[in-house]
Structure 1
Amino acid sequence: MINLLRIKIFSVLALLLLVSQASWATHIRAGEIIAQRISTSTLTYRFSVIGYTDTGSTVIFGSGNIDFGDGVSVNLGENAESNQTILLEDEVAYNIFTIIHTFQGPGRYVIRYDEQNRNAGVVNMSNSVDTPFYIETEMLIDPLFGINNTPVFLVPPVDKGAVGATFLHNPGAYDPDGDSLSYHMTIPQQFIDRNVNDYKDPNDPGFYTNYLEGNQEGDGPPIFKIDSINGDLVWDAPGLMGEYNIAFIVKEWRILEGKAYSLGYVTRDMQIIIEETENNPPEIVQPMELCVEAGTLITETLVATDPDGDPVIFEAFGGPFEMTINPATYEPSPPVSQPVPANLQFTWQTDCAHVRERPYEIQLKAKDQPPIGAKLVDFKTWLIRVVAPAPTGLTATKLSGRRVELNWDKYTCGNADKIEIWRRVDSFDFTAEDCVVGMPANAGYELIDLVNNSTLAGEQITNYIDDNEGMGLAPGALYCYRIVAKFPDPAGGESYASDEACAQIDVVAPVVLNVDVVATDKVAGQIYVRWEEPFDLDPVLFPGPYTYDVVRFEGLSGQINGDTISLKQTALDITDTGLDTDSKPYHYLVYVYDNSGSYIDSSFPASSVWLDALSDVKTITLSWEALVPWSNVMDSLPYHRVYRDNVDEFFPDDLYLIDSAKVTESGFRYVDDGSHNGVELNDEIIYRYYVETKGSYGNPVFKPYDPLLNKSQILSAQPNDTIPPCGVVNFRFDDTFDCSVFLSTRGCDFNDYSNLLEWEENGDSQCDNDISSYNIYFSDEDIDGELPLLENVQGTQFLHDGLSSFKGCYQITSVDRSGNESERSERICHDNCPFIKMPNAFTPNGDGKNDFFTPFYNQIGGGTEGGGTGIPGFNNADCPRFVLEVTFTVFDRTGGTLFTYNSADQIENIGEEGNAILINWDGKSDNGTQLESGVYYYSLEVIYDLLNPKDQKKKYKGWVNILR
């Protein structure tokens, strides 16, 4: 963890003078607030309030108040844990006060500090000497993100600039947790949400005699900006001497699962002093970005020069110098004035602890030492990325049951938390290097699992069994694997991919070789399916000859509602006819039987190739996919063929081979802009395409069949298509569904709901029907505005599953291949069927049977009246359904209240909202008195889970007989 009291500041004489805070009188030039979490069990932080002050003033820094954003505000000087002052050069002192504070709970807090006064004479605000100095830091405390510290600034804001010369500054922001940072200009403030009076940007035209020639080169207006990525603050160039105050914030972002979350920001309010001088700033020779594998020793000589030949002080700041393990160093240290060219010798022994996703930023700073006049600086940012070595020793061993066992060596970097398991069919050769970590895109590998690098006891895990999620691997395929180590967030990082290991699966089931679209049509489409027999079967146990059933399914995957298109055939191929190959892909399974008709096994599912297109001006981008057991990405056959019509002017309807897509580089994608023959596409023409894929199992037995050639459907697409497609018709829920009937066969604890949506394409020939997909919009509330997008789907059915209830409203649109979207359909809504039923008697006598008054309920099925737990005969139709809240009141015969219960008040104690509505009254009054046997009256107010809030509340009255 960074020591926030440590800061690298060296004067021209390399002299640091440490004095007590009371010894120096100050006015404030710059400052920031830094936070460091110092406890893992409590929300305790050490805050460092840092002020850069004018040593020529008699005002003492630290007299202001710090507000922690949780209602606690204290005087900084009176409550500080420690304070110190370091005298710098040029009448600037560095002051740091530390104070400890514990927050009572998670939240987003803004920590504020204000103090009188800024120093006098600031030219870009009014009356600076009477203007308070105000800074703030925001930080998020959230268990989701774990322990978090704010960024720290390693470079002090003490440099001067010259009129007419570009001024540079970089705060050297470093995040000890490895979070991402971004930089943004803001306006200095004097109070909360109140800017200083009459603030002007430093490049305001009022500061220039010739604004249009105000930059250093004199060929354009001045600029004043901060680089949002690396934090370089650039003012090109100052126009008027004087003292300027500016402010910027450094935002902190944590990246989790590819999404950036804001953790807060730190504000630096700083002063820039501009002088008249003939001096020219020094120049640092920009070093090349480095990428090294953890364990590499980095030794680099960095160079700075000066156009005037003045000596230079050359120093470096950045995260590598702050490491607790093997920190980087540089010489000379402390930095001294060197004749030019000045050298800085950088050394860093990298380690696994240094691995992270983002490169380290090292701020190089050179300050010249002229005999007279302002000392000017140059900044350069040097990037060093430390990546993890590849896992070693990977082996793959075939197991029974179409499984493969992987084993590998203990991973070198014990701080990696996960191992990615990657798989593909057939070998693919590449060398992991040049900082390309993880699995390269378009290599054809699929991430199949993510496993822990070690057990809870700390023992490293070095094996994995791939059974393809219980489905088994594809017969006949050569499966090849690589593994990649992943490092924990927030720093993250990945290793190079391991060497490849492969294992061959026995051919103990039919092996599909082709799913080839031979005719594209709405109703007369055809697909050719071919397979090979399971020749590795034991002929004694499974005597031939074999027969086959072929089953077809719609879509690329999912074995639902299959159609058997052939029974017990002996041939090894079939042409499937009467298909809608224009609108949908299909996939197939082949089942094999021995000579007695006994079932043996089935093939792995294999789909047809589905082609899609996206249109732009004079451009059509094709993309395709197929879910098949072989590989369509091969080193030896990297090209897929692309066919198109409108090639031959005499035969415009014929489709010709126009080009090939190198899928090992571009993936399953091809951009047709006419460059293959130098004839650009015509926006008025509808073009037709198909692609032909090339694949292989990587199995020498099947080499005679290689390459496995399969065509997609023929697809029509028009460049620059802006016409939306037809909307759908007959958008509806499943017509056969009845909520009450469905739930009558489910237990009271059932909570896995789904809605099946169905629709039809619009057959109107007057509208454009080039539909490629559908957008489903959904809200579980009947909101007034537009429903939010839920999912983009293909086909004319959608099962919305994993729901907590049935209620919700839907709309649907058609989307064409150019991304045009139809108008939304009418909204259709599905509601819950709420229910609650109360018994009319119970026996609170302590015998464990029917002791509590509760709605009819059974946790495990069976039961009779009341709340039994497994008594045979319970009717699930009596279960309480979609009940959010109950209020239950018992009265005596005169109307006096005996007992009250509200489930909303009980959830915290019970822990489960569903259980709170069961009431479980034990027959006692509110004061604990046991009620006598007899009849009592009750009222029951129920809030149901329904779309319309007006329908949610129902009131019931009834009676109950207590039997003892």
Structure 2
Amino acid sequence: MKKLFTLFLGISIAASSYATHLMGGQISATYLSSDTSGSHYFLDLDVYRDTLGVPMTLNQSVDVFVLDTSGAYVFSFSHTMIFDTLSGNAMSSMTTVYGVEIYHFSDSITFPGNGYYMIKWSDCCRNGAIINMSNPLSENMTFLTYINVDSTNPNSSPTFLTPPVSYLPADTLWQYNPLPFDPDGDSLVWHLSVPLSAGATVPAVVLGYENLSDTTYSNATGIFSIDSITGQISWNAKMAGNFVASFAIEEYRNGVLVGAMSRDMQFVVIPDTNNAMPNISNMQTIPTNNLGYPYVKIAPGQNYQLHLLASDADVNDVVSMSAFGESFGLTISASTFGYVPTLNGNEIEGTFAWTPDMSQVRPNPYLVVLRTSDGFFYYDETVQFEVTLTTAVEELDAFKVHEIYPNPASNSFMLPLSLDKGQNISVDIYNILGVKVSAKQLNLSVGNHILIKNFDLKSGQYFVNIANANGLTITTKKLLVVK
């Protein structure tokens, strides 16, 4: 840990004589209501900076422009936002190692009439240590959020649901998902963009900016990229240093563009080869779709649980796990997540639980990001959950799986099953690395059954996955093998 702190300090001091050291941020606008005075929105501005620069001004202004009939943006009004000292999010530290502050500004604003608006925030200056810009100290950092305001057809801007991650190791495959999301359920398209600087109404892009997908910055085993389906970013950084990337979201309603926003992020890559990356060891136990993505189908009313094991090769590191996604913010039948130590070194077991409601059935899956951390590095995995009627609640009710016994077991276990109708099922066993070590297909008739499973497995933790003929996971049971 001391070694890692020294590395971070070295990178930080290299830029300590520069200006404000802006690192990134974003703007989002959430619809509240409409009346004769206009459409009322709640505006959130998040700005990230390192603690070695000049402190942020605690009042920040945004400029609002409206698109006229000629296709030009015309200034409408400015609004001053106050630094949020009440929510508990104010200037929170992202890590105890590298000083990063999150400044959260929020306030309500009123758009005077319907129209397509642009919200703009800009300040100087970026961190002079940024490598993939030709002259970062001379560049502003500017955020733009576009939103179509229509009092009869309310619209909120898209946003990102996960907090940013500021640092990662060089020469190591790393994953991060900002988790694009639209509260109105509009269709989203996301992509890498070019950071913006100062300039006219619509600012210019940063001069001399180089994409991190360039082989100068990415190893061939992990070119910097964003997945078009999940939004997950993958990177195997080729060198240490400070780098900036920009991620843009566009939202479409019935095929029409109704908004857009972006997030700037500065990554600090450190040359640390001694600190291992925390990870989820049994991701391979999760079903996948035809494209190879982790994909789980859940029927409304199904009490579904996903058990995940996470650990770190550095035995003295403390591992934690968190989860983000739309399903956690639902007002009815929200999902839950928590983790507990397994008492096997620093290993923890995280449990995602969800019993979705009928109203949550839809063709588009819910994205859930599972983030592991050892206090220094973070690593994201993304799982898609589809709430579907493909397998009806009645079918799930007709399939009851009881508890494994004995558990712990040495060379066999019994699993009671109850079926109201005959069907094919699969019983698969996975080790903690997610490798399938046993598979069995059964054609069972109506009634009560006791499955007797003999095995020759080493001592350790395993997962027994029970699925129906449609591939829908009915339940996953933990099995402890003791020789």
Bin for the TM-score computed over the shorter chain: 0.5 to 0.7
2:27 to 22, 27, 33: 33
Aligned counterparts, 1:101-140, within 5 A: 101-140=109-148
Task: Provide the residue aligned with 2:351 in structure 1.
Answer: 345
Query: Which amino acid in structure 2 is aligned with residue 110 of structure 1?
Result: M
The structure-2 alpha-carbon separation of the partners of 1:240 and 1:391, relative to structure 1 and needing over 3 Å to count, comes to: closer
Which structure: greater strand fraction?
2
| Residues 1:53 and 1:61: Cα distance change in structure 2 (over 3 Å) | farther
The answer to whether the aligner puts 1:265 opposite 2:260 as a matched pair is yes
Structure 1's 305 and 169: CA in aligned 2 closer, same or farther, altered over 3 A? Answer: same
Summarize the Cα distance change of 1:337–1:150 in structure 2 as closer, same or farther, 3 Å threshold: farther
Determine the structure 2 residue equivalent to 1:150: 157
Inter-partner Cα distance in structure 2 for 1:317 and 1:118: 29
Query: Counterpart amino acid of 1:124?
Result: N
- How do residues 291-370 of structure 1 correspond to structure 2 at under 5 angstroms? 291-309=297-315, 310-332=317-339, 339-369=345-375
1:643 is matched with none
Looking at structure 1, the residues matched to 256 and 86 of structure 2 have their Cα atoms a distance apart, in angstroms, of 33
Distance (Å, rounded) in 2 between the aligned partners of 1:387 and 1:128? 49
Which structure has the greater CA radius of gyration? 1
Q: Which residue of 1 aligns with 2:241?
A: 242
1:47, distance to aligned residue in structure 2 (A): 0.9
- The whole-number CA distance in structure 2 between the counterparts of 1:306 and 1:294 is 35
Structure 1 contact 30–157 (Cα < 8 Å) conserved: no
TM-score (norm 1): 0.34
Equivalent in the alignment of 1:179: 186
Deviation at 1:178, TM superposition (A): 2.0
One-letter amino acid of the structure 2 residue matched with residue 232 of structure 1: Q
**1:233 CA displacement:** 1.3
Per-residue Cα deviation, 1:137-167 (whole angstroms, up to 9, x for no partner): 11122467x2221223221112412121123
Are positions 1:215 and 2:224 aligned together?
A: no
**One-letter code of the match for 2:26?**
E
The CA deviation at 1:38 is: 0.6
Residue in structure 2 matched with residue 282 of structure 1 by the alignment: 278
In the alignment, what sits opposite 1:780?
A: none
Specify which of 28, 44, 51 is matched with residue 48 of structure 1: 44
Structure 2 distance, partners of 1:390, 1:163, is 45
Deviation at 1:197, TM superposition (A): 2.5
CA root-mean-square deviation: 3.3
- Code of the aligned partner of 1:276: P
Amino acid at match of 2:107: I
Structure-2 separation of matches of 1:377 and 1:183: 22
- 2:76 and 2:371 mapped to 1: Cα distance? 40
Q: How does 1:219-234 map to 2 (within 5 A)?
A: 223-234=223-234
Alignment of 1:408-557 (within 5 A): none
Once the two structures are superposed, the pairs formed by residues 557-956 of structure 1 within 5 Å of their partners are: none
Confirm or deny: 8 A CA contact 1:312 1:339 kept in the other structure.
no
Closer/same/farther in 2, CA of residues 155 and 131 from structure 1, 3 Å limit = same
Change (3 A) 1:61 1:187: farther
Question: Relative contact order (alpha carbons < 8 A, sep ≥ 6): 1 or 2 greater?
Answer: 2
- Shift in CA distance, 280/79, structure 1 to aligned 2, threshold 3 Å: closer
Q: 1:131 to 1:79 in 2, by over 3 A?
A: same
Whole-Å Cα distance in 1 between the matches of residues 77 and 39 of structure 2?
17
Using the TM superposition, give the Cα deviation of residue 180 of structure 1 relative to its aligned residue in structure 2, in angstroms. Answer: 2.5
Aligned partner (choices 155, 158, 161) of residue 168 of structure 2 = 161
Amino acid at match of 2:206: V
Residue by residue over 1:198-226, the C-alpha shift from the partner in whole angstroms, topping out at 9 and shown as x without a partner, is: 21122435558xxxxx334xxxxx62211
| Deviation by residue 1:803-848 (Cα, 9 ceiling, x = unmatched) | xxxxxxxxxxxxxxxxxxxxxxxxxxxxxxxxxxxxxxxxxxxxxx
Report the CA distance shift for 1:87/1:107 in structure 2 as closer, same or farther (over 3 A).
same
Deviation at 1:377, TM superposition (A): 2.7
1:82-105: CA deviation from partner (whole Å, max 9, x where unpaired): 883322213112211112222232
Task: State how 1:11-30 maps to structure 2 within 5 Å.
Answer: 27-30=21-24
SS at match of 1:320: helix
In structure 1, the gaps of 5 or more residues are 1-24, 209-213, 217-221, 370-374, 393-430, 434-964
Pair 106,337 (structure 1): closer, same or farther in 2 beyond 3 Å: farther
- The secondary structure found in structure 1 opposite 2:178 is coil
Give 1:348's aligned amino acid.
W
Distance in 2 (CA, whole Å) between partners of 1:295 and 1:353 is: 11
CA separation of 1:45/1:388 partners in 2, compared to 1, >3 Å: closer, same or farther? farther
Tell me, yes or no, if the aligned pair for 2:339 and 2:348 is still in contact at 8 Å.
no
Query: Quick one: structure 1 residues 40 and 93, their matched pair in 2 at CA, closer, same or farther if it must change by over 3 Å?
Result: same
- Preserved CA contact (<8 Å) 1:30 1:269: yes
Name the SS for the 2:197 alignment partner: strand
Question: C-alpha distance in 2, partners of 1:317/1:338?
Answer: 26
CA distance in 1 between partners of 2:83 and 2:346 (Å): 48
Deviation at 1:379, TM superposition (A): 1.4
Q: What residue number does 1:377 align with?
A: 378
1:318–1:234: structure 2 CA closer, same or farther, 3 Å change rule? same
Determine the structure 2 residue equivalent to 1:476: none
- Which residue does 1:200 correspond to in 2? 210
One-letter code aligned to 1:60: M
| CA displacement at 1:281 relative to structure 2 | 2.1
Residue of structure 1 equivalent to 2:6:
none
Provide the rounded CA distance (Å) in 2 between the counterparts of 1:378 and 1:365: 6
Note the alpha carbon deviations across 1:310-363, whole angstroms, 9 max, x for none: 542211100111112232211139x99994432111222311332333110000
Give 1:190 deviation, angstroms: 0.8
Out of 76, 84, 89, the position equivalent to 1:72 is 76
Distance 1:337 1:140, change over 3 A: farther
Q: Distance in 2 between matches of 1:292 and 1:51?
A: 38
Aligned residue for 1:195, secondary structure, equals coil
Give the aligned length: 349
Distance 1:355 1:81, change over 3 A: farther
Identity %: 27
**1:647 matched residue in structure 2:** none
Change (3 A) 1:124 1:228: same
Q: Contact conserved, 1:81 with 1:99, CA < 8 A, in 2? A: no
Contact kept, 8 Å, 2:81 with 2:107, in 1: the verdict is no
Q: 1:61 to 1:337 in 2, by over 3 A?
A: farther
SS at match of 1:76: strand
The verdict on how the C-alpha distance between 1:182 and 1:357 changes in structure 2, with shifts beyond 3 A counting, is: same
The aligned amino acid for 2:39 is L
Equivalent residues of 1:33, 1:49 under 8 A apart: yes
Distance 1:305 1:391, change over 3 A: closer
Tell me the secondary structure at the aligned position of residue 356 of structure 1. coil
CA distance in 2, matches of 1:32, 1:337: 40
Distance in 1 between residues matched to 2:343 and 2:158, nearest whole Å = 30
Q: What are the Cα deviations for residues 630-681 of structure 1, in whole angstroms up to 9, with x where unaligned?
A: xxxxxxxxxxxxxxxxxxxxxxxxxxxxxxxxxxxxxxxxxxxxxxxxxxxx
Q: Supply the AA of the counterpart residue of 2:310.
A: A
